[in-house]
Amino acid sequence: MLIWMCALHCEAKPIIDRYHLKKITQSNIFDCYQNNAIFCVVSGMGAINMAAATAWCAAQFAQNTSPVWINLGIAGHLDLDIGTTILASQVRQVGQNNRIYPITLTRTTMTRMPIESQQAENVEYDDKSIYDLEAFAFVKTASRFSPLEWCHCIKVISDNSSTPPTRDKARISELITRSMPAIDAFAQALLEIHTDHMQRTLTAHQLHRFLDLAHFSQTQRVQLKKSLLALLAYDPSLDTYHQSVSDFKQAHQILGSLERDLHRLSEQL
Amino acid sequence: MAQTLYIESAIRQHPRSQEILQRMPKSHVIEIERYGEVFNPKSQNFRLQKKNPALILSRKHAGYVLPAPIGYGIGGQHNYYFSHMLNCIYDCRYCFLQGMYRSAHQVLFVNYEDFVNEIRHTAEQHADEPVWFFSGYDCDSLAYEPVTHFIDYHLPAFAEIENAWLEIRTKSTQIRQLLQHEANPRVVVAFSFSDQQVHQHSEYQVPSIQKRIDAMKKLSDQGWLLGLRFDPVVYHQDYQASFNDLLETIFSQVDINSLHSVSLGSFRLPKQNFKTIHELYPQEKILNQPFELQHGMVSYPQDREHAMMTFCEQALLRYIPSTIYFPCRW
């Protein structure tokens, strides 16, 4: 699952177009778009809106999983060219010492720089960081639901010391659209790693097929989950093991049988 | 080579940092205040990071030299370890380092001088007695050598401390720097081995057994004292034949006279360590075998462990004298 978080509609539009996202009509708190496992949520400007939208989104769509999160938007810098695409190497809230470092797993053509999130629009740029409003609130919140390897901020430079911040929505969409090849390449590479990683997890359906066979205490459920997770390596459908325990009526018999299978298989390298 | 290099602002101008920056011109450099900002946050995934770990350059402020855990020695009465690095570039599924830290990034402490001062001070406390210092406890001593130049600094420093012995423990073949120095009779270069099946199955990115033997031969030819570390021995159905094959492969090529010590231990991990590693790698075969909890350690059931140790010990003692054999007791 990939969740794009944008402050403005004009920042989200290139994503919506690129991935053919459709508006989810039942959502009336934040504007939300979806195509299969790709989501895009528009939070509104500022840290509080972004934190609220990210937490809401995690509750709505990501309860049993750790999705990939990308905050996409515009930012300012002293002298970087307009349209430069930046991947955050560090995010910081202005006036605070707390810094967070998103962890990059893939190579990227994007420039990596620190982002300093401001309380309000600020044109007193420096050359060490790029300025935005939401990045820190986003990463701080998203990293409560996913590890930092899955939480990233991408910003396209829209203003600098010679070009003031723009209110032109079409211009903002255009700047981001031009950067979409690099942004998309990064997102796809990340999603590939994410998919590979998530394939090793047990689905609720797989677990319930076994839970339905007998009454399991809470401790036995944990044991069952561990055994099934390990046995996935030998049979991704788990059908073999389900069949072998389907006649048992007691949880301890099922667990014992699965454990014996696991021990036997584990001793053959 | 790491794609990302974090560096503490306070040591950015340290000569060793500057040298490392020059050796890694393609790495993206990110300044940080303290390495813990990157290394310690809860919200990170060790397994994911292991795919692309960064290097963190830092300064260590205390605890340069620590007493070695019980059973870690190779004949000495006074045993200490020091870690100029945290974490290892290799990815061995039995290794306790997987559960040790939240991050898989490599931390390199650049203030080697402070380590050596503490080593000198510790050696002085046991004047006239040999004192052992183990360098490969929290990292592989040599694997990052092209970047760290650990050997170039530490070998001359140890040579000047007359009662200090150094064990350099490694699975790497990075011996170029060692070969540029004259062999020091108080330095043991100890190579760790698992049998071929465990190597293939559980030691990711580790040089082949033959390449490590080749490295041992070169060091032996130059007069270096060598060590062999069979710790941990990992159980599998064919462990006896595989262990015999491994010994035959090693001892048919390595001169036994160059061996200082050989140690042996079966797989075991502290309970919490094991739990963390099993959660990271729930499908790993060597972690899904039958285990028992003994004295806070997760290990093979006693009868299996006893059988393994007895078998491996007897196999080893066919090649080496018992005077250089050191079983790991815990």
Let me know whether A148 and A237 are in one domain.
no
What mean pLDDT comes out for the span A185-198? Answer: 93
Q: Please identify, among A198, A214, A230, the residue that sits at the C-terminal boundary of a domain.
A: A198
User: Are A172 and A211 within one domain?
Assistant: no
- At residue B37, the pLDDT reads 95
Disruptive mutation site among B29, B32, B45, B101 for chain A (greatest number of A CBs within 10 Å): B45
**CA atoms of A74 and A131, how far apart (whole Å):** 9
Same domain, A35 and A88: yes
Number of domains making up chain A: 2
Would the pLDDT of A123 be above 90? no
Exposure letters B120-145 (e unless 16+ CB within 10 A, then b): eebbeeeeeeebbbbbbbbbbbbbbb
pLDDT, one tens digit for every residue, chain B (330 residues): 899 999 999 999 999 999 999 999 999 999 999 999 999 999 999 999 998 999 999 999 999 999 998 877 898 999 999 999 999 999 999 999 997 899 999 999 999 999 999 999 999 999 889 999 999 889 999 999 999 999 999 999 999 999 999 999 999 999 999 999 999 999 999 999 999 999 999 999 999 999 999 999 999 999 999 999 999 999 999 999 999 999 999 999 999 999 999 999 999 999 999 999 999 999 999 999 999 999 899 999 999 999 999 999 999 999 999 999 999 876
Phi, then psi, of B255 in degrees rounded to 5: -70, 120
Residue A63 has pLDDT above 80, yes or no: no
Q: Of A154, A180, A198, which closes a domain? A: A198
Nearest CA in chain A to B38: A101
How near does any CA of chain B get to the CA of A151, in Å?
10
Looking at residue B136, its pLDDT comes to 83
For chain B, domains (ranges, CATH) are: 4-327 (3.80.30.30)
Query: Angle, to 10 degrees, between the axis of helix A9-18 and the axis of helix A169-198?
Result: 50
Of A172, A198, A224, the one marking the end of a domain is: A198
Mean pLDDT of all residues in A112-126: 92
Residue of B nearest to A267 (CA): B236
Coil, strand, or helix at residue B222?
coil
The whole model's pTM is what?
0.94
Specify the pairing of strand A38-42 against strand A2-6: parallel
> What percent of the residues of chain B are helix, what percent strand, and what percent coil, each to the nearest 5?
35, 25, 40
Residues A95, A74 share a domain: yes
What pLDDT is attached to residue A166?
Answer: 85
Q: Which chain B residue's Cα is nearest to A190?
A: B48
The reply to whether A60 and A97 lie within a common domain is yes
**Same domain for A140 and A256?**
no
φ, ψ for residue A67, nearest 5 deg: -75, 170
Q: What is the pLDDT of residue B329?
A: 75
Predicted pLDDT at A228: 96
DSSP string, B177-213: HHHTS---TTEEEEEE---HHHHHHHEETPPPHHHHH
Size of interface A-B (CB pairs under 8 A): 91
On whether both A208 and A193 belong to a single domain, the answer is no
On whether both A188 and A257 belong to a single domain, the answer is no
Task: Report the gap between the CA of B52 and the closest CA in chain A (Å).
Answer: 6
Nearest to B44 among A104, A149, A229 (CB): A149
- Whole-angstrom distance, CA of residue B56 vs CA of residue B6: 5
Question: Is the minimum CB–CB distance between A193 and chain B shorter than 8 Å?
Answer: yes
Given a cut of 80, is residue A259 above it in pLDDT?
yes
Q: What pLDDT is stored for residue B6 in this prediction?
A: 98
In this complex, which of A106, A147, A230 lies closest to B43 when CB atoms are compared? A147
Nearest to B4 among A99, A104, A268 (CB): A104
Q: Where are the beta strands (DSSP E) in chain B?
A: 4-8, 28-32, 55-58, 66-67, 78-81, 85-86, 91-92, 106-109, 131-134, 164-170, 187-192, 203-204, 225-233, 259-266, 268-270, 292-294, 297-299, 325-327
Task: Give the pLDDT band of residue A61 (cuts 50, 70, 90).
Answer: confident
Measured from the Cβ of residue B1, the count of other Cβ atoms closer than 10 Å reads 12
Within 8 A of A92 by CB-CB distance, chain B residues are: none
Q: Does residue A211 share a domain with residue A168?
A: no
CB contact under 8 A, B37 and A101: yes
Q: Sheet holding B78-81: strands in order across?
A: B66-67, B78-81, B131-134, B164-170, B187-192, B225-233, B259-266, B325-327
Whether residue B134 contacts residue B83, with contact meaning beta carbons closer than 8 Å, is answered with: no
pLDDT of residue A121: 87
Same domain flag for A152 and A39? yes
Q: What share of chain A is helix, strand, coil (3-state, %, to 5)?
A: 40, 20, 35
Q: Which chain A residues are Cβ-neighbours of B289 within 8 angstroms? A: 263, 266-267
ipTM confidence: 0.90
Q: Is B43 on the interface with A (CB under 8 A)?
A: yes
Mean pLDDT within A24-52 = 93
Q: Identify whether residues A54 and A146 lie together within a single domain.
A: yes
* The residue type at B219: L
Nearest to A112 among B28, B38, B43 (CB): B28
Q: pLDDT-derived band of residue A45, with 50, 70 and 90 as boundaries?
A: very high
Number of Cβ within a 10 Å radius of residue B269: 22
Look at B44 and A230 and tell me if their CB atoms are within 8 Å.
no
pLDDT of residue A103: 96
Structural domain span for residue A46: 2-198
Neighbours of B211 (CB within 10 A): 12
**CATH of residue A100:** 3.40.50.1580
Residues A153, A236 within the same domain? no
